[in-house]
Structure 1
């Protein structure tokens, strides 16, 4: 059996190519619309006995059960009509076990062959990229080694110059990554306002609130600051924040529900800065929607920061960014950088979702381990590069081809 994939602008042109190359005996196995055009998979010299055998089995399964009449002497007219009536009556017979095994086996075989074909095409496309755009291929390789996700790596690599004047082209991937990071200068600790830190459970929200509060107290009066906790779920959460408030000499208030939160914020209107510590909920937690509604209703004018753990996995960070998107976070805070084995997933999430990075946290010290992100751009890229050194330098060419060869696999 010979199978080939065709891409054309329309179905008519695709069928014309099939007839021209494989002749009128070719069989269309599948067709679909893709970004490239109409894709047609055609085969010639296929095994017809499989199809014929499957058809015969289906016919046998659908045939009515023969009726055996008692040995009586029916009237001639009735005997002539009886078989017709029996044949006209619909009989539903379940197919015998294994009736479609040949068809299923052939389907699986075709799927395997298709994967092999697409894998070969992806390898060819990746080889073509290496030959035509070697610098871009180098960028994609290096970003992949940093655990930057494929979609973000392609977005960053799109800015790769055709030629470079860099004495060391190996620096180009890191330079492009640094340029693409959405770092901003946040003025919360300078101008004040109402700010809340949100995020999943265990990402360091309470500690981050304490760091922001301490940073404010370094250059402002503690009397102008107040802390609010809406976390009535985690045992000891409010006690931890109350301890920080006592050390800093600032008031701490608890709020339960949207109405209570609104009343507390109204009483604190005279404060220049109010920091809100929120309860942690996972992206799939049923209570998350209620918590988000409490914040949107009770603190409608607050500035929200999404805390993302730097050591988190890519899919978990993607879910968190999507789950808290309803609050329209002004920026994100990367926490636990000191615990991360790779920064690729966290940086990819920020770039993909357009989340500006306001602060970086790389330890438990308050406030020494809180850093303004816009002043640490080069440092952040260097940390990501240093963490890469702990990973095996082996490059999986098949993985690179699969991600960047321009061919997608289908089940």
Structure 2
């Protein structure tokens, strides 16, 4: 793409020069009026500047910016002082300006998409997939195939390649499997613990123990105790590492120990450090980050970052039934290698939970 700044005495003159030098299809990015003062305090000349862009077929990936400056006293002919912005900083700034001002279609073309692919590309973006990641999908497909149209099935297959799935919780051959659910307040940790406990205790007839580390939220233990009573499984509470270790020692005959953690703000570094200290009592502990499908992608990213010191082994997506767009799942999968374990889609225990699988993800994203 060729970028040029045109300086002229009036807007009509500047637009005429844009068409002459860049062609009828040139895109006007920015306009502004400039005044130049005269020596002695007199009123200076007024000029206009137009920044325009045009695809350069011979150099599609190059960006050249030319700024025309008048002489110090207006005595030099227009164009006598041309300034080429070749430094990396100027180039980056101009590219950023262009990307911001261009329409979504123009941005897609600038990233290498063909016209026949724009409809499918726009569908991906509307589903919540990041523009750059959506463009990368087509870039990869274009490299491997000359077919510019690309039906939705091939695009969906390419999107699916970025996902990893762990399957259900697998119990250990010897000793209890220990699984902790992490996540921000309101993500659905306690309900998910109950659903998992019901699946293993009631459907698979396994010996399950529930442990609450949530001493912060009022009524947290009582809520978990209600689920425990209904399923006839023991419910324990630990406030520190020693209490947690005692619980583990008491239930060495269990098949599965499920841990419901505190629902405090993950920005609280002390909270994460407290969990790390408690978890040190169980070296083989498996962690599942619980995240609501209704949460913003930035919240998802922040949770992954904040809980990373604990080691995030799996991701559980909750409240699927309340979500509107699911393209952000692809964004997360593309940037992180953490596999998905379960999806939950309602409040019923134990019905509204399923093992995460590719078919379900593609259905969520593409409808």
Smaller-chain TM-score range? 0.5 to 0.7
Deviates more, 1:39-48 or 1:207-216: 39-48
Cα distance between partner residues in 2 of 1:295 and 1:366 = 28
Cα deviation, 1:80-131, whole Å, max 9, x if unaligned, reads xxxxxxxxxxxxxxxxxxxxxxxxxxxxxxx99886556678976743656x
Q: 1:198 to 1:121 in 2, by over 3 A?
A: closer
Once the two structures are superposed, the pairs formed by residues 301-340 of structure 1 within 5 Å of their partners are 301-340=284-323
- Report the CA distance between 1:263 and its aligned residue: 2.1
**Structure 1, unaligned stretches of length 5 or more?**
5-36, 51-110, 387-411
1:367 aligns with 2:347: no
Listed one character per residue, the Cα deviations across residues 199-255 of structure 1 (whole Å, up to 9, x for unaligned) are 111100011011111110234435x21111100000111111111111111111100
Distance 1:112 1:186 in 2: 48
- Between 324-333 and 146-155, the greater mean CA deviation after superposition: 146-155
Task: Pick the structure with greater CA Rg.
Answer: 1
Offset of 1:320 from its aligned partner? 0.8
Contact 2:171 2:255 (C-alpha < 8 Å) held by counterparts? no
Pairwise CA RMSD? 3.5
Q: TM-score, normalised by structure 2?
A: 0.68
SS for the counterpart of 2:227 is helix
CA pair 49-330 structure 1, distance change in 2 beyond 3 A: farther
User: In structure 1, what is the equivalent of residue 85 of structure 2?
Assistant: none
Change (3 A) 1:228 1:129: closer
Aligned to 2:169: 187
Q: Shift of residue 172 of structure 1? A: 2.8
Aligned to 1:175: 157
Between structures 1 and 2, the one with greater helix share: 1
Q: Does the residue aligned with 1:334 lie in a helix, a strand or coil? A: strand
Say whether the 8 Å CA contact 2:209–2:258 is kept in structure 1: yes
8 Å Cα contact 2:225/2:235 also seen in 1: yes
Distance 1:259 1:334 in 2: 31
CA contact (8 A) 2:116 2:149 kept: no
- Alpha-carbon deviations, 1:148-204, whole Å to 9, x = none? 123433444443255378998133332322333222313336866111111111100
Does 2:147 correspond to 1:159? no
Task: Report the equivalent of 1:228.
Answer: 211
Query: Kindly tell me: are residues 116 and 185 of structure 1, through their superposed partners in 2, closer, same or farther at Cα, counting changes over 3 Å?
Result: closer
1:9-35 Cα shifts (integer Å, max 9, x gaps): xxxxxxxxxxxxxxxxxxxxxxxxxxx
**2:194 maps to which residue?**
210
- Give, in whole Å, the separation in 2 of the partners of 1:134 and 1:322: 38
TM-score (norm. length: structure 1): 0.61
1:252 aligns with 235
What is the DSSP-based 3-state SS (H/G/I as helix, E as strand, rest coil) of the residue aligned with 2:258? strand
Query: Quick check: 1:361–1:369 contact (8 Å CA) kept in 2?
Result: yes
Where does residue 268 of structure 2 map in the other structure?
A: 285
SS at match of 2:280: helix
Matches within 5 A, 1:60-209: 126-127=108-109, 133-134=114-115, 137=118, 139-161=120-142, 162-163=144-145, 169-188=151-170, 193-209=177-193
> Which residue is equivalent to 1:62?
none
State the aligned residue count: 289
- The residue aligned with 2:54 is none
The verdict on how the C-alpha distance between 1:185 and 1:318 changes in structure 2, with shifts beyond 3 A counting, is: same
Q: Which has the higher strand share?
A: 2
Shift of the 46–216 alpha-carbon distance from structure 1 to 2, 3 Å rule, reads farther
> Does structure 2 retain, via aligned residues, the 8 Å contact 1:196–1:276?
yes
In structure 1, the partner of 2:55 is none
Counterpart secondary structure, 1:349: helix
SS across alignment from 2:181: strand
